[in-house]
Structure 1
Amino acid sequence: MAPLDVQLVAADRLVWEGEANGVSARTTEGELGILPGHAPLLSVLVDGEVRIDPADGQRRVAKIDGGFVSVDNDKVTVVAETVDASDF
């Protein structure tokens, strides 16, 4: 299965963009795991971590202050007010 096309965006900048095997984050409904082939989704994120498993490397973790995640046709966009991405 083809990897996900992922964008992690802060209010003021693009933090990371690339291919990933999976993305996970905490939403208002609970923990969310996204893999290739995931159904379309739009959800509100709570303060916490977004974990990205890049297709070509080691897991990356960013701390976010709320936001939302959108999934459609293996494209995942995470938008947050602030992103602390020291692992990137």
Structure 2
Amino acid sequence: MADALTVDIVAPDGKVWSGAASRVIAPSVEGEIGLLANHEPILSVLRAGTVRVTSGTDALEFPVTGGFVSFDHNTITIVADAVSTDED
């Protein structure tokens, strides 16, 4: 299946990652949320945990300390309080 989602992950200090994906799993305060193309619109608060993005053959992980996730029209925006990356 081709990548069908547009994903933006941002933190207070700027954009962390942006690109196409086929799946995103995010740690919501109500449990993990799995998002695929054509999912129902959602807005949820994130808890500390790991956002997992499947982009092509890559499996990316972004540890977050909290924030929120928004999904609408196959676009996912994750606004994190802080994100840990390999460069940290």
TM norm structure 1: 0.91
Equivalents in 2 of 1:86, 1:38: separation in Å?
30
CA distance in 2, matches of 1:73, 1:2: 14
What amino acid maps onto 2:74 in structure 1?
D
1:12 CA displacement: 1.2
Name the structure 2 match of 1:42: 43
CA distance in 2, matches of 1:12, 1:47: 18
Q: Which residue number in structure 1 is paired with residue 83 of structure 2?
A: 83
Q: Which residue of 1 aligns with 2:16?
A: 15
> Is 1:73 aligned to residue 50 of structure 2?
no
Q: Which runs of 4+ in 1 moved over 3 A?
A: none
- Provide the residue aligned with 1:30 in structure 2: 31
1:57 deviates by: 3.1
* Count of aligned residue pairs for this structure pair: 86
Shift of 1:2: 5.8
Letter of the aligned partner of 2:52 in structure 1?
A: R
> What amino acid does structure 1 have at the position aligned with 2:72?
D
**Distance in 1 (alpha carbons) for counterparts of 2:42 and 2:86:** 27
Uncovered stretches (5+) of structure 2, i.e. residues with no partner: none
% identical aligned pairs: 41
- Shift of the 5–24 alpha-carbon distance from structure 1 to 2, 3 Å rule, reads same
In structure 1, how many angstroms separate the alpha carbons of the residues matched to 2:86 and 2:40? 30
Taking structure 2 as the reference length, the TM-score comes to 0.91
